[in-house]
Structure 1
Amino acid sequence: MQTPTLRDVARAAGVHAATASRALNPETRNLVNAQTARRVLRAAESLGYRPNPIARSLKTARSHTVGLVIPDLTNPLFPPIVRGIEDTLGPAGYSALIVNTDSDPARERSQIASLRSRQVEGLIVATARLEHPLLAELRREGVRIVLVNRRTDGLDVPSVGPDDAVGISLAVRHLVELGHREFVHLAGPLDTSTGLNRARAFQSALREHGLDEDPARLVACEHWSEEGGAAALRRALDSPVPFTAVVAGNDLIALGCYDVFAERGIACPEEVSVVGFNGMPFLDKLRPPLTTVAIPHHQVGLEAGRMLLESVKEPDRPARSVLLPPSLAVRGSTAPPAPGPVAGAR
């Protein structure tokens, strides 16, 4: 059976091919009478017509695709953000091409080159590295970029993410109200903007509450991972710094704390309370359920998609940054401290 063409659709709908083309394109559908557009769409559906995006992009220099660059697709943080992006792009007639970089600069460069070879109209980049010369290079070349889950200094591009300072402040205030006075922060890697911002926010929160700001209370993880969190907590427990509460840089790091609690026989929250950050799915199924700073992931994605479409339609529009407010999901991993803080080797 021969594949139906645009001319077949136009003939079935009783319109000119140019009218059918406009009706089938979400961006130009408003140029066609609503009744005519419905007739064209019904004809296309009945014939099984599918537009050829490659042919359209060659004709219009518009691919209607966006490159989405993710550092780690296995991180549960990203799927709801991706869903939000797709929920914005889809109604506008755009689709996302998703690549995973494993946080490897060489892989990231090759993956972005591949996306550009497919004529994507812009990039949504979910990266956190502080030093990122590739982004500056892409910006100089006129590539439209939106950053997700990070901000950057010296680079005039739109960005959207959670308000890290507010989130860390919520976590520390909650623990202080429970009676905790001795903290450690298991920070994300400090060569990432998110790790550094949350570490600074932790130190600021300690000052706000008049608590001990000993630099040893900040222990940096090598990776945003369960293993990284476990290794950092072991270092904290083996140090002379006393603490009854842990503020983790993200939920994966907090999961690493659970592993160490089990291996060293530490009761949570009876001996040590812990708060995560991000609001990953299924944290309420842990024992104890994890208290965490919850991020509106889907909303982050929706806003990133909107920003990218704005950049495509209005290239001269000034870049804007959006910080979305987090909330605190209080669960069973936090409780008032028992007498005598944890300290020394366990």
Structure 2
Amino acid sequence: MKKSPTLVDVAKLANTSKATAARVFSRSKSANVRLETKARILEAADKLGYSPNLSAASLRSKKTYLIALCIHDITNPSSPSLIRGIQDELAQHGYDLVVFNSDWDPNKEKKNLLAVVRNQLDGLILQDPSDELDVLELPDIPSVILTSNEVFSAVRSTVSTDTVGGVKKALTYLHSMGHDRIGILLGGSVSQITNRKRAYLDFYEGAGLKVEERLIVDVPFKTRASDTFIMAKELIVDLMRSPRRPSAIFASNDMLGLAALQMAQIEGLEVPGDLSVVGMDDLFSAESASPALTSVSKHRFEVGTQAAKNLLNQIHSDSSAVKEVVNELVECTLVIRDSSGPITKHGA
């Protein structure tokens, strides 16, 4: 029977020490090995067919090297960028990601958190906690919350995007293009709708413009993004067919913005000649739409990366030290594309 390759065999073939080879296969120490040396060791392991016993390593270190990400909807178009940002950063430090989906259900959210504790995961990244979740129900493990909710940011580290500032950037841009009758499509969680509507009303007040309630459209929340898209199209048609339709629409997410583009085409409206449309999220589908959708980027990949870095700092810090609460705010950026422009006589 052929003898299984050992770590000593790998080190010998890679022309390095056993200790260095061991660090490469140690999740917590692999980052301390030079890239060229690491590549040589991994190549040797692959050639020999060597596979480290990660379960044994986890038992010795009392770590699972698994991080939980609890999100609302993995099918939401903005989720992949967030997940990729987290996963890429964790992978550099030997950690894997486990994703829990709550479907916006507070009961599922709580069950997911219990599963995190039950499986002894090393850390938690939690997206926008529901109103029903109490701070005291959070697991007592290193964690980062993706929220601007002050109740959570007072006791746990957070990473959030300045969506209020992003909304105002979009509205300021549209107003500078001559638009003063701007419709807004609101969708998402209660907190998201509240924040974006407040930003819209504050902008109108600051600009000295009259608020028309019929230009504010609340798109009913649906658990699945695809269902929300269908519902949104019906409401957008009503807005476009109104006697004094808006010359521009700001959608609180790109999915609603893309729905507005689609319905404008069906209604025979030219974009941006008859109607300017701006979304929020800056998804790949926004850039590839026709016309390409102007959008407010929330930098989801960067948010994920920053959340993972913050979490890893907590995990690797002295366990006896007092944990510092760090609240980080990522600014939004307006990405101007073909779906928006100056108001025209036809669009006025």
Question: Which range, TM-score by smaller chain?
Answer: 0.7 to 0.9
Letter in 2 for 1:133: L
Is the CA contact 1:229–1:254 (under 8 Å) kept in the aligned structure 2?
A: no
Could you tell me how far apart the structure 2 residues matched to 1:244 and 1:60 are? 61
Q: TM-score, normalised by structure 1?
A: 0.82
Pair 1:154 & 2:151 matched: yes
8 A Cα contact 2:70 2:126, kept in partner: yes
Which blocks of at least 5 consecutive residues in structure 1 are unaligned?
none
Q: Does 1:323 align with 2:329?
A: yes
CA distance in 2, matches of 1:277, 1:250: 4
The whole-number CA distance in structure 2 between the counterparts of 1:20 and 1:120 is: 26
Is 55-64 or 313-322 further displaced after alignment?
313-322
1:248 Cα offset (Å): 0.6
Once the two structures are superposed, residues 15-63 of structure 1 have per-residue CA deviations (whole angstroms, 9 ceiling, x without a partner) of 9988864452142358899999898766644432323333322222211
- 2:259 — aligned with what? 256
Give the 3 Å change call, closer, same or farther, for CA 258–13 of structure 1 in structure 2: closer
Structure 2 residue corresponding to 1:221, chosen from 213, 219, 237: 219
Distance 1:217 1:260 in 2: 16
Sequence identity, in percent? 26
CA contact (8 A) 2:64 2:122 kept: yes
Deviation, 1:206, is 1.6
Partner residue, 2:117: 116
Q: Give the partner amino acid of 1:322.
A: E
Alpha-carbon distance between aligned partners in 1 of 2:3 and 2:328, rounded to the nearest angstrom? 45
Q: Determine if the alignment matches structure 1 residue 180 to structure 2 residue 179.
A: yes
| Residue identity opposite 2:327 in structure 1 | S
Counterpart residue identity of residue 151, structure 2: G
Q: Secondary structure at the match of 1:154?
A: helix
Tell me which residue corresponds to 1:332.
Answer: 338
Stretch moving more, 329-338 or 21-30: 21-30
- RMSD in angstroms over aligned alpha carbons? 3.3
Q: Count the aligned residue pairs.
A: 335
CA shift, 1:122, in A, is 1.3
Query: Which residue does the alignment assign to 2:163?
Result: 164
Q: Which residue identity lines up with residue 153 of structure 1 in the other structure?
A: E
- Taking the TM superposition and a 5 Å limit, the aligned residue runs for 1:22-33 are 22-28=23-29
Q: CA deviation at 1:125?
A: 2.0
Q: Distance in 2 between matches of 1:25 and 1:219?
A: 53
- Report which stretch shifted further, 196-205 or 28-37: 28-37
Which residue number corresponds to residue 300 of structure 2? Answer: 297
Separation of aligned partners in 2, 1:284 and 1:50:
43
**Structure 2 CA distance for partners of 1:9 and 1:42, relative to 1, 3 Å:** farther
Instruction: State the distance in 1 between where 2:34 and 2:292 align.
Output: 55
TM-score, L = length of structure 2: 0.82
Q: Tell whether the 8 Å contact from 1:242 to 1:341 is kept in structure 2 after alignment.
A: no
**What residue number does 1:86 align with?**
87
Partner residue, 2:274: 271
Structure 2 residues not aligned, in runs of 5+: none
Distance 2:53 2:305 in 1: 27
Deviation at 1:326, TM superposition (A): 1.9
Does residue 62 of structure 1 match 2:76?
no
